[in-house]
Structure 1
Amino acid sequence: MGCRLSCTSEGGLRDEYILGQKIGEGAFAQVRLCTHKKTGEKRCVKLLHKPYPRQDFETEIAIMEEVCNGGCDNIVRFYQHYEDNYFYYSVMENLRYTIQHGAHEYVSLSVCFPPCASSGGELFDTLASPQPLTEMEIADIMRQMLTACAYIHKVGIVHRDLKPQNLLFAAKGSNVVKMIDFGLSYKMPKGEMLDDPCGTPEFVAPEMILGKYGSKVDIWACGVILFMMLFGEMPFAAANEEALWQRIVEHQPDFKKVAQRAGYNPSEGALDLLKKLLTKKPRHRPTAEEAARHKWIKEMTQPTAMPVLLEPIPQDVRRKGRLATIDVKKKHDEMVKQQVPHPPQHNQIDKLQEELDEEYKHRKQGRLASLAVKKQKETDGAHREERDSSLKVPPAVEHAAPPTQPAVERGEERKTTRTRTAGYQNFMTELEKLRAQYETIKEDSGELDAMGPVDEKRP
């Protein structure tokens, strides 16, 4: 699956956005805050260095254009994408408004928005909060996760990398959870299954390890996340990836022992949903819509739910869950570093961005200078026209037009013209004759004068 990337003009991203602080980076990616110039809205832009495969970026953009369009409140909003000589850019909703101490964390490529102390933040950032976390809050989180899964599954898209890092709260103090990072997502052909394993090993479903799989792998990942929220540890753990996958395929968690270690006994409804989500065979696993309608979720998310009667999950459990998440992420980062042969250095990406920023400034200054020259030429032209118009001789005053004569037919007008021309020629002919006679008379008169006076007496 792919899409045709729209060609943007030079400096397209910087023409519309002001790039801000860097909040994370990975093997090929960097995430920055940005501000829309016209609206002033704060957003985030993900930069992918161009060794990153173009087809993968096109696939991610096509999926985000389909599902990140505001149709589901639990999916991050996607706005625009751009491209220049060095990077692909995708602009998304900002779920991290501020960063304390200017700190950021280096993250793997699959994590679009890295963990940091901020407004909003990752799902497990809330585990460090001293506020009590009850099953009511967990049920509400699960409802929103499953709603987002149902939305993308309805159009045939499977996420394939659901984990706490890819689920963010919309803002500080908000209970709205949003799904992010569609870098490994894929639109399944109708009636077909996928067979390429991907994602974070601790969240991979058994059928993905064994071969053919479908959208139910996202439901399994939701079960792993629910397990972590209830017990503060991973349901499957091992010393290496091969042993981990074997445990995922062959073993079942011992919920009683896990509860004893955690010092917390979940309700029967929570355990029932957890067991269904972690069912080994995908055909026996519920769909996202079915899981979202589970009795426990309905009871916990009803306005009549009584949170004061719910036992808070111990703080130690929540701390352990957060540490387990961080540990999984570190392992995944190391795996990505080994798989990427020659990733660009972080300082190289920063340097390229600085060069692009500087280039844009020069280009902008050049455009402004060109506009100034053009405006000056227009002003000079206007002044020249005004001066020339003041030097022009006023047009002669037109005399009153003669009375309108009756219209003459075209044939008669031609005839009259011909008659006038012939009369003029006759007049000139007669005039020439008179002139000739005059000259003759003049000559005769001269001869007579030479002969002397006439003798009147002569007979």
Structure 2
Amino acid sequence: MGLFGKFFRRDPCKDNYVLGRVLGQGSFAVVKRAVCKKDNTQWAVKIIKKSALQSEDKDSLDKEVKIMERLAALKHENIVLLREVFDAPDHFYMVMELCLGGEVFDRVVEKEKYTEQEARVAVKQVAEALRVCHSMGIVHRDLKPENLLYVKPTSDQIKLADFGLANILTPQTALETACGTPGYVAPEVLWGSGYTEEVDMWSLGVITYILMCGFPPFYDENQNRLFKKIRHGDYSFPAPYWDQVSDKAKKLVMSLLTVDPEERATADTVLKDDWITETTEDAPALVGFQENLARYNAKRKFKAGIMKMQAINLLKGASSRRGELETSNSDSG
């Protein structure tokens, strides 16, 4: 029957929660801050307008809820919790954990200095969230800064959010849908020959790279050239920004940004990596990091809204053309 087979005559979400200010908005959904009437706890409520949903949108939402419910049973410290859902006549509601600390890159760019140790703390938490997802056959497929949130402004705890593009692997089956954010997408997604959870590890490699220098490993204003660089793993560690980065950190990045998915590091191997397991509290500030990330972050946010739909369309086109995958879009700038 799915999520849309039965609904309440009244609006149960509004019966149980007081909805507040808007936190974010999309094409057919809005996220609002909310307070539970019963226990006065605060939550984020995603409100989906049902009349705006096509059949495939309903199927995707059904899948997203099933995945989040499965993860919610674990109450994992690095994955956003789905508390409950409500199916009302006009809207579908998802009541989720409220994370008030902001996106990872936004927090980092505000620091006076940034070190490898701080990057290590962030990368380890994301790898732990992916380990849990992958152990359950769940592929996130859209790992990017916007989906990595700090729980509180005063906390370093990170949560993996937004499972709208996530999918569940079945035995002996690879995923084929071309989706994700182009600046973070793995080569095999562009090849169109099928992929599994390794795509998330590539995206983690891109994020780890940025957390070391403040700019992405793959960049080109020309969309064709950008995807060609990704497909061939064409990146470097330019001076002076990488001169103070440890060899262990560079080795981890290389293990993640490995074009062959079978040779790429897994979440388990990342968590056992020498760089992840060591601690260097007195690590020096990373050279030029703040300035680089400030520029990249500003450009990323400016382009996000403009290029979102174009990126999706071009990725779909890349999937259908198979052999012509050098024609696509970018969110890497």
TM-score, normalisation: structure 1: 0.64
1:139 aligns with 2:143: no
Letter in 2 for 1:250: H
The structural deviation recorded for 1:70 is 4.0
Q: CA–CA distance in 2 between the matches of 1:322 and 1:8?
A: 47
Q: Tell me, which stretches of 5 or more residues in structure 2 are unaligned?
A: 314-333
The structural deviation recorded for 1:3 is 4.5
Q: Say what the alpha-carbon RMSD is for the aligned residues.
A: 2.0
Letter in 2 for 1:335: M
2:284 counterpart residue number: 311
The structural deviation recorded for 1:89 is 1.3
The structural deviation recorded for 1:339 is 7.8
Q: CA–CA distance in 1 between the matches of 2:126 and 2:58?
A: 29
Letter in 2 for 1:311: P
Q: CA–CA distance in 1 between the matches of 2:90 and 2:308?
A: 22
Q: CA–CA distance in 1 between the matches of 2:2 and 2:295?
A: 39
The structural deviation recorded for 1:329 is 4.2
2:93 counterpart residue number: 89
When residues 25 and 89 of structure 1 are mapped into structure 2, their CA distance, relative to the original with a 3 A threshold, is same
Question: Per-residue displacement from partner, 1:198-226 (whole Å, max 9, x unpaired)?
Answer: 01000000011002111000000000001
How do residues 216-295 of structure 1 correspond to structure 2 at under 5 angstroms?
A: 216-255=198-237, 258-260=238-240, 262=241, 264-295=243-274
The structural deviation recorded for 1:340 is 9.1
When residues 245 and 289 of structure 1 are mapped into structure 2, their CA distance, relative to the original with a 3 A threshold, is same
Matched residue of 1:259: which SS? Answer: coil
The structural deviation recorded for 1:229 is 0.7
Structure with greater proportional helix content: 1
1:297 counterpart residue number: 276
Letter in 1 for 2:236: D
When residues 145 and 184 of structure 1 are mapped into structure 2, their CA distance, relative to the original with a 3 A threshold, is same
Q: CA–CA distance in 2 between the matches of 1:132 and 1:76?
A: 28
1:403 counterpart residue number: none
How do residues 16-415 of structure 1 correspond to structure 2 at under 5 angstroms?
A: 16-50=16-50, 51-52=52-53, 53-96=57-100, 120-211=101-192, 212-255=194-237, 258-260=238-240, 262=241, 264-300=243-279, 306-308=280-282, 310-314=283-287, 316-338=288-310
The structural deviation recorded for 1:259 is 3.2
Q: CA–CA distance in 2 between the matches of 1:291 and 1:229?
A: 16
Letter in 1 for 2:217: P
Q: CA–CA distance in 1 between the matches of 2:197 and 2:227?
A: 19
Residue range with higher mean Cα deviation, 41-50 or 150-159: 41-50
When residues 329 and 215 of structure 1 are mapped into structure 2, their CA distance, relative to the original with a 3 A threshold, is farther
Q: Tell me, which stretches of 5 or more residues in structure 1 are unaligned?
A: 97-119, 301-305, 342-459
2:8 counterpart residue number: 8
Q: CA–CA distance in 1 between the matches of 2:176 and 2:43?
A: 35
The structural deviation recorded for 1:264 is 4.6
Q: CA–CA distance in 1 between the matches of 2:178 and 2:105?
A: 25
Question: Per-residue displacement from partner, 1:243-284 (whole Å, max 9, x unpaired)?
Answer: 2111101242121xx232x37520011111011010110000
Matched residue of 2:165: which SS? Answer: coil
Q: CA–CA distance in 1 between the matches of 2:312 and 2:134?
A: 30
Q: CA–CA distance in 2 between the matches of 1:215 and 1:263?
A: 29
- More relative contact order in 1 or in 2 (CA 8 Å, sep 6+)? 2
Q: Is the 8 A contact 1:152 1:158 kept in 2?
A: yes
1:344 counterpart residue number: none
The structural deviation recorded for 1:189 is 1.3
Q: CA–CA distance in 1 between the matches of 2:63 and 2:11?
A: 23
Matched residue of 2:262: which SS? Answer: helix
The alignment of Structure 1 onto Structure 2 pairs a total of residues equal to: 307
Q: Is the 8 A contact 1:156 1:190 kept in 2?
A: no
When residues 59 and 322 of structure 1 are mapped into structure 2, their CA distance, relative to the original with a 3 A threshold, is farther
Q: Is the 8 A contact 1:16 1:37 kept in 2?
A: yes
Residue range with higher mean Cα deviation, 291-300 or 66-75: 66-75
Q: CA–CA distance in 2 between the matches of 1:268 and 1:338?
A: 38
Q: CA–CA distance in 2 between the matches of 1:338 and 1:207?
A: 20
Q: Is the 8 A contact 1:184 1:198 kept in 2?
A: yes
The structural deviation recorded for 1:228 is 0.5
